């Protein structure tokens, strides 16, 4: 499945990884950072009104319908929660 474009040179993708999800940020087409997480935790994050997910290099923040993607403390883009849910639905 094609990654979601974030900003110049950055994109975001989700892959199946065993019984979990693998969230990946690409920089210029190459894998930059990833996070392996349970599908339940990620769904809980998507369904919350305001939430912050993960600690470490890859972090996601949700405010109403916008998800901010941060890598190493720098905001690299935003995605709508609806787009993220559709992406996840198409994956499964």
Confidence of residue 92 (pLDDT cuts 50, 70, 90): confident
pLDDT, one tens digit per residue, over 6-63 is 988 999 999 999 999 999 999 999 999 999 999 999 999 999 999 999 999 999 999 9
Rounded Cα distance, 10 and 19, in Å? 26
Looking up tokens 């499964």 gives 92
pLDDT at 23: 96
Does an H or E element contain 3, and which?
none
3-state secondary structure of 60: strand
3-state secondary structure of 57: coil
pLDDT at 6: 93
Find the angle CA(65)-CA(57)-CA(80) to the nearest 5 degrees: 15
3-state secondary structure of 92: coil
């Amino acid at each position: 499945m094609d990654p979601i474009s974030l900003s110049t040179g950055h994109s975001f993708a989700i892959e199946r990884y065993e019984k979990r999800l693998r969230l990946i940020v690409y920089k210029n087409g190459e894998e930059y950072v990833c996070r392996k997480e349970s599908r339940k935790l990620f769904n809980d994050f998507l369904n919350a009104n305001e939430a912050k997910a993960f600690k470490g290099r890859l972090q996601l923040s949700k405010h109403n319908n916008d998800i901010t993607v941060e890598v190493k403390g720098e905001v690299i883009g935003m995605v709508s929660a609806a787009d993220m849910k559709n992406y996840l639905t198409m994956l499964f």
